[in-house]
Structure 1
Amino acid sequence: MIGSEGPDHPRQKNKVYGHGQAEQSFTSALHNGRLHHAWLLHGPAGIGKATLAFRLARVVLKGTDLASPVGRRISAGTHGDLLVIERAKDEKRGRLRAEITAADVRPVQDFLHHTAAEGGWRVVLVDGAEFLNRFAANALLKILEEPPPNTVLLLTSASPGALLPTIRSRCRMLALSPLHERDMRAVLPEVSPDMLSRAQGAPGRALFLAMDSDGSITQLSQKILSGTRLNSDMLAQIERAVRDADGFALLCDLLGEGLASKARQEARLGNVVQAERAARHFAECEAMRRQTEHMNLDKVQAIRQAARSLAES
């Protein structure tokens, strides 16, 4: 999971699946002395953007051998020339904060004002750049406008359209695509073929979906999507499902997936009214999730309202 430490953290990995062409574009620019100062790795959530970003950082810092001293320092997060900016963890709520703040970005200025600790390049990795709030985005923009020499910034984003146009314009874009089936099997050999298929080429999404080990959240989402009116049994299921942040996020994700699929299906059949209705519900579901997580609203009440809206439509 992005943002969590441990053997599955992108920091600990070196092998990248499915993004060889993007890596080649970067390494060719580096070896030919034409490395752009900022790169934006963008694509759907869960396809390995952070893993590739850490791999590129290893290439720049000459730490691709995980067993080497440099490689070990990168894995441990102690390399003096690598600074990672990401959403901090909210210890009270036990989940990642909703935003990357100006305070999170402020260490970059101090980092870049010092000579490279190991005499080479310095790398700033911003994981989840779409979470930069307005103040953090403006602080990063100033750095992108006047980057020091021998410095490269690696930004990842699942929603590049949410970034300031001036940030995007100062980055070289690396578009990443969902993984092919063979790469998905290589990354997650223990995950069932059905789960891999549902993940649509995103290993992170496969692991996310696998949290619903007994299928209860999937069944609940299907009831809500079918327009089933709330009853005591469903209310109890909702309370169990959203007891923690991951359950709420997964239920919202499944609802969004179902509504998006319905919108596409109705559009293909020429049912414009039904397609527009499903698309509207999808937008409402996404907005509900963002607002609930950002403002720490009552998750049970949010899902109840979404279920009522679908039942009444």
Structure 2
Amino acid sequence: MSDDALPEPDRVEGAPHPRETASLHGQHAAEDRFLDAAAGRLHHGWMLTGPRGVGKATLGWRIARFLVDGAEDRGTGLYVPPDSSTFRRIAALGEPRVHLTRRPWDEKAKRLRTVIGVEEVRSLKSFFTMSAADGGWRVAIVDAMDEMNVAGQNALLKVLEEPPERALILMVCHQPGRLLPTIRSRCRELRLGTLDAASLDSAMMDAGFPPEGNAAALAELSGGSAGEAIRMIADDGVAVYAALVKLLDGAPKMSRPAMIGLAETAAGRTAETRYDLMVRLVDRLLARLSRTGAMGETPVEVVPGEAAVLARLAPGLTAAQGWADLAETLAGRVGHARAVNLDPAQVMLDTFVQIDATARRVS
């Protein structure tokens, strides 16, 4: 497999990579905070935090272009035009002053490795031993820090403790609480929020995924994440969610054949994306059940009939707590199942059985 054909762990399939994206939608406050910091002595380590898919990596690449291109002297914000030589070099990963650290390709196993390890951090450290030809900035982007193992984090810590001059490390973090406290204490945090409906629509249009008739449903199911909304479109997520709601409509006596049939769609090597999608949508459905019981009102209906199902199965605070507890339990079970490589179909069937049992207790 050629380098050009290798899968990229930091790309949403079918969408432009963040380094190829000129615009960032709905994150003006985060951009302004960085620009304010850049007006003084710029800290060397930044954690770009917030939900997955809201533009953290896109912001990181905008910052890299901004510093390498010298745009801080032009008063144009972080924007660097796509037709500039800096933009083109960075988009092609051909800019010697910018380094990307991410999960590598395992040539022996013919798949992406599951973690960012010490070897990748050594490469980052070697990058910083070289001086920029013009004495300008050198920028390293780590996408994502959540995937860096403890040994890799300890190795990175040494760089953060003794940073080179005019060097910046931008760390994309979906769950910063999983990082070593010593890493967090040496970095500044730049938090990005979820996207409002208008920003979500414009981001998806920019990525070539217009929401069309499913805009409201996608906004609800994605939780304000453009990356998640794009995955929903690519994997027919609204239809999968409708199937889950239809199954739940039978609770607390859900059809066993229906449970098995839906679970089996997540089985097999080619269904890995479907399995991941279904796990996320089950979590979203449980969150909406819990919210319905806690708030005493149903959220915006995503698919026909959903509101009635949510109202029936989450009539009050006791039910809300039951669904929230189940979501936490299932998250732990799914994590364990991935660690020991359990059959996805069996994991989903067990999930449906647990949902049916909870419905019996709380409704």
User: Scaled by the length of structure 1, what TM-score is found?
Assistant: 0.89
2:50 to 32, 37, 43: 43
SS at match of 1:279: helix
1:240 is matched with 265
Give the secondary structure class of the aligned counterpart of 2:265.
Answer: helix
How far does residue 274 in structure 1 lie from its aligned partner after superposition?
2.2
1:170–1:235: structure 2 CA closer, same or farther, 3 Å change rule?
A: same
Aligned residue in 2 for 1:197: 219
* 1:62 and 2:69 are equivalent in the alignment: yes
Determine whether 1:158 maps to 2:165. no
| Cα distance per residue 1:183-231 (max 9 Å; x no partner) | 1221123113224422232111111221343854223322554545463
Contact 2:9 2:103 in 1 (8 A): no
Tell whether the 8 Å contact from 2:139 to 2:169 is kept in structure 1 after alignment.
Answer: yes
Contact 2:231 2:237 in 1 (8 A): no
Q: Deviations over 1:107-160 (max 9, x none)?
A: 111111111255311111111212221111111112111111110010111211
Conserved? CA contact 1:124–1:153, under 8 Å: yes
Task: Find out whether 1:222 has 2:245 as its counterpart.
Answer: yes
Q: In 2 relative to 1, CA 143–208 (structure 1 residues): closer, same or farther, beyond 3 Å?
A: same
Deviations 1:1-28 (Å, cap 9, x if unpaired)?
A: 9623876100111211111221122223
AA partner of residue 41 (structure 1): L
The one-letter code sitting in structure 2 at the alignment partner of 1:34 is R
Alignment of 1:123-162 (within 5 A): 123-162=139-178
Partner in structure 1 of residue 256 of structure 2: 231
CA-CA distance at 1:233 after TM superposition: 4.1
Name the structure 1 match of 2:355. Answer: 310
> Aligned equivalents of 2:153 and 2:199: distance in 1?
34
Q: Secondary structure at the match of 2:323?
A: helix
Rate the CA distance shift 1:41–1:102 in 2: closer, same or farther, 3 A: same
Mapped contact 1:195–1:206 kept (Cα < 8 A): no
Give the Cα–Cα distance (whole angstroms) in 2 for the partners of residues 93 and 281 of structure 1. 36
Going from structure 1 to structure 2, the CA distance change for 1:90 and 1:206 (only over 3 Å counts) comes to farther
SS at match of 2:33: helix
Q: Which deviates the most, 118-127 or 75-84?
A: 118-127
- After superposing the two structures, state which structure 1 stretch, 62-71 or 163-172, moved more: 62-71
* 3-state SS in 2 of match to 1:285: helix
Seen in structure 2, the aligned counterparts of structure 1 residues 183 and 80 have a Cα distance that, compared at 3 Å, is same
Which has the larger Rg? 2
Instruction: Name structure 2 gaps, 5 residues minimum.
Output: 1-7, 71-79, 297-314, 359-363
Distance 2:100 2:245 in 1: 39
Q: In the alignment, what sits opposite 1:213?
A: 236
1:1-313 to structure 2, matched below 5 A, reads 3-4=10-11, 8-30=16-38, 32-62=39-69, 64-89=80-105, 97-117=113-133, 119-189=135-205, 190-192=210-212, 193-198=215-220, 199-213=222-236, 215-223=238-246, 225-226=248-249, 227=251, 229=254, 231-243=256-268, 244-269=271-296, 271-313=316-358
Return the offset for 1:55: 0.6
Please state how far the C-alpha of 1:92 moved relative to its aligned partner. 8.6
- TM-score, structure 2 normalization: 0.78
